[in-house]
Chain A
Amino acid sequence: MSDEAARWDRVKRVFQAALDRPPEERSRYLHETCGDDQAMRNDVESLLVAHGNAGDFAEQPAIDGFVSGPVRVTTRGDAVAVEPVLQPGLRLGPYEVVAPIGRGGMGEVYRARDTRLGRTVALKVLPAHVANDAGLRHRFEREAKILASLNHRNIAIIYGLERADGIIALVMELVDGPTVAERISQGPIPVDEALSIAKQIAEALETAHEQGIIHRDLKPANVKVRTDSTVKVLDFGLAKFVGADASHDAANSLAARALPASLVTGTGIVLGTAAYMPPEQARGRNIDKRADIWAFGCILFEMLTGERAFRGETTSDVLAAVIHEEPDWGLLPSVIPPGVRAVLGRCLQKDPVERLRDIADARFRLQESVAEDVSGLGSARRFRSAQRLAWVSGLLLATMVALATWTIWRPRAQAPEVRLEVTTPSTTNPQSLAISPDGRTLVFVATSEGKPRLWLRRLDEPTLRVLAGTDNASLPFWSPDGRSLGFSVESDLKRIDLESGAVQTVAPYSSMFGGAWLKDGTILATPNAAAPLVQVAPGGGRVSPVTQVTARGSGYRSPQMLPDGRHFLCYVAGADAGIHLGQLGEPTTRKILDATAAAYSPTGHLVFVREGNLFSQPFDVTRLEVAGAPTLIAQNIVLGPMNGVAALAVSAAGPIVYRTGGAGPQRQLIWVDRSGKQLDILSRVDEMGGIATSLSPDDAYVAWTRGPANIWLFDLARGVSTRFTFETSVDLAPVWAPEGRRIVYSAYNDSDFDLFMKSATGSSASERLLRAPGAQQADDWSPDGQFVLYTNVSKVGENMSPSEIWALPLDGSRTPFPVVRTAGVAANAEVSPTGKWVAFQLNESNRFEVYVQPFPHGDKVRISTDGGVQPRWRADGKELFYIDADNRLMAVPVDLESVRTPRVGSPVPLFTPFWSLAPHHPTIKNYSVSRDGQRFLVDVYRETTSPVTVLLNWQPEG
């Protein structure tokens, strides 16, 4: 490696590590890492800056940039614009162009159908100069992301960007109805209505300003009024990309900018805008949110009078009027409340320092002035009202005031349905999300510093917050008061108090399939795939089963309370698989719906996932049954690795959240080398992928559980799966015989897991080897073929129920004998290749450690130093592998055969994969080792970045 290359290798590592840290920690990290090497620090810092500025530089394939569809050349003044023209029927991603609607501030606008969601949207096609200019394009895309986070009922929502063949289109909410400009062209707007429109514009601005977004081009043509009187402000923040203006706007996207001199020359674009431009902008100075407040004043004036506040024959005349003249206040109708006049005066102050600073002030003052007006203290209209109401008692008058005020200022009952996309950092656990009971805060799992952690996103703030102390968290659920979250880590159920950040352990086992938090503090938990629902008493005390495990219901998952606080929904695996309805205190449940995940929506519907699609169906809460027909809400929902878990949550306040873009199963089986480098992807593991994989002695096949809990054999060379067991039972934990021709496994029948054996070719029927109290989980087969080792779990379906390791001789007697006896949990036994030792995991000291002991009996020797599960031998018996408490795959050299006292080396970490299932559960086997110990077959998650959709004001059809 050249010096330069070696240096780059160092620099890029530091850069990558810095990037993995939150921005605020990077400086400290660089300081610590680079020490005195200022050159290295500069180098990394400039890369971080480049990374921040690069936008989507090079993210799209080069060929995309060369290809574009037909274009139209337009001229506006001296500006020449090249715009793509879309033919009806053309597809852009999922959008099908229906018809052109007209010209918007940026380019042609089309009506289009979203074929996925069946809704109509507006596509605003970016002019060619933006689409083809990499720099502008990057900034535009960055900007669009910010704008897409603007969520207010009076702001036309930006759904996202769609690009295909060099065309970039902004996908927006389609708003039907006239613009305010069109309304004004027919004369002044009646006072009440004008004030209602003004109030809604003010609310839209207020929300945007709170997020630091300035409209920059607010004018009557950018405000639409729907037939239900809802006002929608269009084109927030897009002004800077319009026409020639765009290429000059070099400043940061959200920072204020100067008006380029070239604009003050008299093109059509400017003429339309100049009338609403504040004096400071007309003078070419920087603008801030007060520019929008000025424009707001102009619009209000124009609505009330039907005339522009500032007029002129040419742009220069208009700008001169803006700078020097006062509006003709005499045009204002005499009937308006005096407060309105005052607000107008404050909005149209030429000196920004004198102008209203906050649009909320304008809203309050208008509101007050209307109230005063109706209560009879001012104008002509007030006088008439007072006359009419003179005989009415004060009390009734007050009621009227309140009512009238409310009628104008009340929130719209029919707020529009909004689908808001929230992007999250990449995650290996995309199905883990939940929305707070008040519908305001989203929690999800995403990777932070290489670990899955809980992140919070308040929907009304664009910031993300990682919750400390939530490493490896999964499937969070909210407390009913919204102040705490329950979540699972590998072997614990925990809770975090959001205000203090305090994390407590609620129960000493994970709730692998989610949980539900009852009003009295009880938590419903799901200890494992085949367990009943259990309830954990408030404060984390007593644990007792809620439901009963049978063949028809062999695993209870994802409980969701119904509003009555007594009934709950959950997914149930087994012969009667589907969504069941249960009641606290009743051990049996009843199937009500064919679906893999479901939640109750306060609209009186069940929202559920069936075959990866999200549906709703009316639900009768008194009869506790679904009615009517299902309606599709969204497609391609991310599903968890096993049925019962999907990226879906519904708030008691209404919002529905889900993550789409499943892109197939998240889990995969891959071969990796000793450094963790991926050598080969063997298979995507489907929904019901196994909880244990077992590699055949010749490394040619993998046996695992999949489908409805049967064992399948995967041929590694041919990439083909064949089904191995066909029983209706749940078959788990396959183990190969040393000669590779037979397989022992555990099958659940009626009440217990028994051991069965079957020929690996599948040619013979299975033979029951052992039936004993409790559950038997096959662990290993001794190399001489004489013994099958298994874990005897005393209580089926309970997590971490005491378990011991036993051996079953396969010769005559078939009388099992204990190998490791304990009051704790011993599991995952594997006999050494010589047959003289057995390795296993045991939790004598609170957590699992890996031990070896002579087989069948003798003193045990501890192998792991820092927690350990799932020991595996290399085929020559000279090395042991296991997973430590930090999920690292560890290797330990051992010498057990040539010496009297076993010699054990120091464990060294090899790598840390994103294990798809928590390795510390005693029934799970996450990996196999090739005979030579050089390759590992690991069952891992891949990271995804698909966005979360928040569905607000959902208006169900059924």
Chain B
Amino acid sequence: MANEAVSELLRSWGRGNVRARDDLLPLVYRELKRRAGAYLRHERRDHTLQPTALVHEAYLRLIGQDRVAWQNRAQFFGIAAQMMRRILIDHAREHQAAKRPCGAVRVALDDRVGAHPPMDCEVLLLDRALDELTQLDARQAQIVELRYFGGMSEPEVATVLSLSRATVTREWQSARAWLYRRMTTRQGRHE
């Protein structure tokens, strides 16, 4: 039943019904969280499982099988990346809460003086910087979201966004340089 509901919502969204998208979000979020959670808690000892596989798996479970038009699938991956971002940010916040604030780590990322794994901070800082990038360049921010949070490869991103592979590469390079600069130096801020 859930499968049909999701398929129908996707189709409905594909026809332009924006509300269908909002109805879809909690379903996808719950499913991804369940799967990603197990993954993050190391319950999965399947070392071949990749983040994209995670999304595919959730997709197959929600949709039932791989028969929805590609257009819808592309939309689904867009949503999934957004959801993965939320899940990972939540995860990072929980882990990071007890430790030092990330402000200090901003310097650490640049100077490499922090011996502590700043993965949580890297994710949280990147998330914040990405919000700023969205204001500047929404398409770039979306590419980063799909790649970094959604775990998608460049060709997959190209397909989802209907861009050429070369465009995705170029946009990714400049977005990544912008984010890195933003996160490691004061100059990153646009005065």
- A interface residues, Cβ below 8 angstroms from B: 2, 4-5, 8-9, 12, 15-16, 19, 46-51, 53-54, 57-59, 61-69, 90-92, 128-129, 132-136, 139, 164-165, 244, 247-250, 426, 672, 676-681, 942-943
Contacts and interface: CB of A to CB of B under 8 A. Distances in A.
A36 to B, nearest CB: 19
Given A135-B112, A139-B112, A678-B163, A54 B123 contact: no
B61 interface: no
Given A4-B190, A63-B151, A681-B159, A129 B115 contact: yes
B118 A942 contact: no
B17 interface: no
A61 B147 contact: yes
Interface string B36-51: 1001101001011011
A15 B52 CA distance: 30
B34 to A, nearest CB: 14
Given A61-B50, A62-B148, A62-B149, 5 more contacts: A51-B177, A61-B51, A65-B123, A66-B88, A135-B114
B136 A943 contact: no
Nearest to B108: A135
B177 A133 contact: no
B109 A134 contact: yes
B144 A58 contact: yes
Given A58-B179, A61-B151, A67-B42, A134 B115 contact: no
A47 B47 CA distance: 36
A943 B88 contact: no
B165 interface: yes
Nearest to A942: B165
Given A90-B47, A136-B112, A247-B113, A65 B119 contact: yes
8 contacts: A8-B136, A8-B190, A50-B184, A59-B176, A67-B40, A91-B48, A677-B167, A678-B162
A135 B115 contact: no
B187 A92 contact: no
B57 interface: no
B6 interface: no
Interface in B92-118: 92, 108-118
B174 interface: yes
B126 interface: yes
Residue from the set B52, B112, B173 with the largest chain A CB neighbour count within 10 Å: B112
A444 to B, nearest CB: 19
Given A5-B136, A51-B173, A165-B47, A678 B164 contact: yes
A66 B91 contact: yes
Q: Which 4 A-B pairs have the closest CB atoms?
A: A132-B117, A61-B151, A50-B181, A51-B177
Contacts of B149: 61-62
Given A54-B180, A135-B112, A677-B163, A69 B42 contact: yes
Contact of A247 (B40, B115, B150, B167): B115
A128 B117 contact: yes
B128 interface: no
A49 B187 CA distance: 12
Contacts of B180: 50-51, 53-54, 57-58
A943 B166 contact: yes
Contacts of B26: none
A914 to B, nearest CB: 8
Contacts of B158: 678
B122 interface: yes
A5 B84 CA distance: 27
B170 interface: yes
Nearest to A5: B136
A94 to B, nearest CB: 11
Nearest to A51: B177
B177 A15 contact: yes
B112 A4 contact: no
A66 B92 CA distance: 9
B137 interface: yes
A426 B154 CA distance: 13
B135 interface: yes
A135 B116 CA distance: 11
Given A4-B190, A15-B177, A47-B181, A64 B115 contact: no
A91 B114 contact: no
Contacts of B91: 66
B135 A4 contact: yes
Nearest to B49: A165
Contacts of B52: 61
Contacts of B170: 16
B29 interface: no
Interface string B10-46: 0000000000000000000000000010011010010
B3 interface: no
B176 to A, nearest CB: 6
Contact of A51 (B115, B116, B176): B176
Contacts of A942: 155, 165
A47 B36 contact: no
B39 A16 contact: no
Contacts of A49: 181
Contacts of B40: 63, 66-67
Contacts of A12: 137, 140, 171, 174, 178
Given A63-B84, A139-B112, A164-B47, A943 B165 contact: yes
A935 to B, nearest CB: 12
Contacts of B84: 62-63
Nearest to B126: A58
Nearest to A80: B115
Contacts of A62: 84, 88, 123, 126, 148-149, 151
Nearest to B48: A91
A927 to B, nearest CB: 15
Contact of B39 (A15, A65, A67): A67
Contacts of B88: 62-63, 66
A59 B50 CA distance: 14
Nearest to A673: B162
A744 B110 CA distance: 65
Nearest to B71: A680
B113 A250 contact: yes
Contacts of A133: 112, 114-118
Contact of A50 (B92, B164, B177): B177
Nearest to A53: B180
Residue from the set A4, A67, A129, A681 with the largest chain B CB neighbour count within 10 Å: A67
Nearest to B89: A62
B137 A5 contact: yes
Given A50-B180, A63-B88, A134 B148 contact: no
Nearest to B36: A63
B5 to A, nearest CB: 26
Given A63-B151, A67-B40, A47 B177 contact: yes
Contacts of A135: 108-110, 112, 114, 118
Interface in B129-161: 135-137, 140, 144, 147-151, 155, 158-159
Contacts of B119: 65-66, 132, 134
A19 B166 CA distance: 13
Nearest to B117: A132
Contacts of B144: 58
Residue from the set A50, A54, A59, A68 with the largest chain B CB neighbour count within 10 Å: A50
Given A16-B174, A47-B177, A64-B51, A134 B135 contact: no
Contacts of A91: 47-48
Contacts of A139: 112
A66 to B, nearest CB: 5
Nearest to B175: A12
B39 A47 contact: no
Nearest to A87: B45
Residue from the set B167, B173, B184, B185 with the largest chain A CB neighbour count within 10 Å: B173
A495 to B, nearest CB: 30
Contacts of A164: 47-48
A533 B45 CA distance: 56
Nearest to B187: A46
Contacts of A248: 113
